[in-house]
A and B are shown apart, each in its own frame.
Chain A
């Protein structure tokens, strides 16, 4: 079970480190912790897998990656883990999830592909198809059009006391 102090640190580091010489000390000041406690809690959260990655979070679109497709397949349940792990290794894949099939949406494997343009994304998808023998499964390709809203997730998931601190 996570302590409230871990949640508070998690809220701060997921919102972003300040751009100053001692960012962890700065976060500590806001949370009433010293620098060493912040660093040791972040280190532990990373080790537990509650922080997947800590670093520069880029925006793909302004950097020239204008095409984004969500691709979904209906693959046999007994193969999904193997396929999902394999797909995840391709550098152009950004996310890879299993979700339940629904009556009007019979797909269970989801991945996200970023590319500089639509043709590149489709070529990369073809590469995946070949390498993972995915062509035999039902599939949909959903390119993104407009972004109505995008922002970090963690604050809404936090207990209110933590949000108040964050």
Chain B
């Protein structure tokens, strides 16, 4: 069950987190609670897996190289192939999607050459061809996501 404090923390501080020495106290002052209340509520949200972290979102391809890759894998091979892909430390997202191209993953490496080598190794190990979909342009201005928490 989420309290009002939880809901405010989830929705009101997704961006422009205070860059003062005491950001949690600043948030507490804004919400009219104590710093201890804020730290405790954030720890609860963390424990309950409602937040992944309080941190920075980095735009793709500014540091290192990344690539979205798709594969079309038969259902009876899906788990094996997905496990092989996930085992690569360079892979950070790996999803099943409803399509003939049903495996979608993102690989990152320090350089484009290293990235290409990783994707070739994944193709060899899994035995399936990779559809390479590098980023050309990013149109998204990330302002966070307004959650409807009325019934949460």
Binding site for B on A (CB under 8 A): 2, 7, 10, 13-17, 19-25, 35, 39, 42-43, 45-46, 49-60, 62-65, 70, 80-81, 84-85, 87-88, 91, 93-100, 102, 104-105, 108, 114, 116, 140, 142-154, 156-159
Contacts and interface: CB of A to CB of B under 8 A. Distances in A.
Interface string B13-51: 111110111111100000000010001001101101111
Contact of A157 (B19, B35, B66): B66
A35 B21 contact: yes
B54 A16 contact: yes
Nearest to B129: A104
A39 B25 CA distance: 16
A14 B10 contact: no
Contacts of B48: 62
Tell me whether chain A's interface is mostly helix, strand or loop, or mixed: mixed
B21 to A, nearest CB: 6
B21 A102 contact: no
Nearest to A101: B133
8 contacts: A14-B58, A19-B46, A56-B10, A56-B13, A63-B147, A97-B140, A98-B138, A142-B97
Interface in B82-124: 82-83, 85-86, 89-99, 101-102, 104-106, 108-110
A10 B152 contact: no
A151 B110 contact: no
A148 B63 CA distance: 25
A53 B19 contact: no
A45 B62 CA distance: 12
B56 A58 contact: no
A97 B139 contact: yes
Contacts, number: 250
Contact of A105 (B22, B70, B135, B149): B70
A53 B14 contact: yes
A35 B56 CA distance: 17
Contacts of A151: 92-93
A147 B94 CA distance: 6
A110 B14 CA distance: 23
Contacts of A157: 63-66, 108-110
A69 B138 CA distance: 18
A156 B19 contact: no
Contact of B151 (A2, A64, A94): A64
B119 to A, nearest CB: 14
A74 B22 CA distance: 48
Nearest to A6: B63
Nearest to A109: B139
A164 to B, nearest CB: 14
Determine which residue in B56, B92, B147 has the highest number of CB atoms from chain A within 10 A of its CB, and name it: B56
B108 A23 contact: no
Given A21-B39, A57-B55, A153-B58, 6 more contacts: A52-B58, A58-B52, A93-B140, A99-B68, A105-B133, A144-B95
